[in-house]
Amino acid sequence: MEKKVLINLLLVGGIILSGCISLTPTNVNFSTKGLGSELEYTYLIEPGIKEVTWLSKNVLQVKGVADMDCWYVPISGNYKINENKLTLQYDLIEVFWKDIGPGNSCPQELTYKISGIEKKDYEINIKKSTR
């Protein structure tokens, strides 16, 4: 009886661990570029997906714009796939800019290069990570 419980615990633990590992893919290169904090830029640049390019059969590059508070900077990116929905996510770190107060808008261009992904038409969106 004790062996069965131990085996079940190991199996459940392995399943949970493998699910956690798959949430942070290692086959994504992430880069970012600030697009300015001037008000004129904020109104000219709409957040969302801007460019989707298949670089090869299983390498997808997506460029998008995320609007965020100037006190935060994106530091990493990841993605999730659910059927034909591809959700690009980014993590933020708080920084302090003495010249810019909180609440100001600083759009960022985010680029994701994902390898090992099935080539098909995805419904793509971009959002801040919730972890």
Tokens of 60: 């997808």
Give the torsion through C-alpha atoms of 45, 47, 53, 59, to 10 deg: 140
Instruction: Tell me the pTM.
Output: 0.72
Q: Give, for all 131 residues of the chain, the pLDDT tens digit.
A: 454 433 433 333 443 333 333 344 569 999 998 776 554 454 567 889 999 999 999 999 999 999 888 888 899 999 999 999 999 999 999 887 666 666 777 888 999 999 999 999 999 999 999 86
Q: Which position has the token pair 């801040």?
A: 128
pLDDT tens, 28-64?
Answer: 999 998 776 554 454 567 889 999 999 999 999 999 9
**Secondary structure E strands in the chain:** 28-34, 48-56, 59-69, 72-82, 85-94, 105-115, 123-128
